[in-house]
């Protein structure tokens, strides 16, 4: 295992857990873009669909499952559990302007023209812009 990858995974996981804890302890998702969180859930789902076909290691499999579970838990907290505190009036970014171009780009520019590779490429492109709804919350 590469030490830098492990430290990167750990810091990323810590950030996700801190977000979940912040929402849970404050009982509020005010200031958090639900659209960005949905995009990140789509990113992890598309990227880690190879979970069912390619086994690399127990660590890798566990991290994939945890990332997907945490992403969907965050979305559930925003849109269901603490829905009353979510300010959809300010979360107005049009995500189709992100999803459609990244999907087209993934079809055109990828390493190998297979479904899993296109989904993985799509997830890379989408992840690079998924934070934009959060940045543009007004």
DSSP code at position 111: S
pLDDT in tens, 5-64: 999 999 999 999 999 999 999 999 999 999 999 999 999 999 999 998 989 999 999 999
| Whole-number pLDDT of residue 137 | 87
pLDDT in tens, 82-110: 999 999 999 999 999 999 999 999 999 99
Give residue limits of the domains in the chain: 3-135
| Whole-number pLDDT of residue 22 | 97
Asked if 91 and 137 count as a contact pair (C-beta separation under 8 A), the reply is yes
pTM higher than the cut 0.75: yes
The CB density around residue 69, as the number of other CB atoms within 10 Å, is: 12
- How far apart CA 121 and CA 116 sit, in angstroms, is 9
């Amino acid at each position: 295992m590469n030490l830098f990858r492990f430290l990167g995974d750990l810091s990323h996981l810590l950030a996700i857990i801190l977000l979940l804890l912040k929402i849970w302890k404050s009982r509020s998702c005010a200031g958090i873009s639900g659209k960005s969180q949905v995009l990140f859930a789509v990113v992890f789902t598309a990227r880690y669909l190879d979970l069912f076909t390619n086994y690399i290691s127990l660590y890798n499999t566990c991290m994939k499952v945890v990332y997907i579970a945490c992403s969907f838990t965050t979305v559930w907290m925003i849109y269901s559990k603490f829905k009353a505190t979510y300010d959809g009036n300010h979360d107005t970014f049009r995500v189709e302007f992100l999803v459609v171009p990244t999907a087209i780009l993934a079809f055109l520019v990828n390493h190998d023209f297979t479904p899993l590779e296109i989904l993985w490429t799509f997830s890379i492109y989408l992840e690079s812009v998924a934070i934009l709804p959060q940045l543009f919350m007004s």
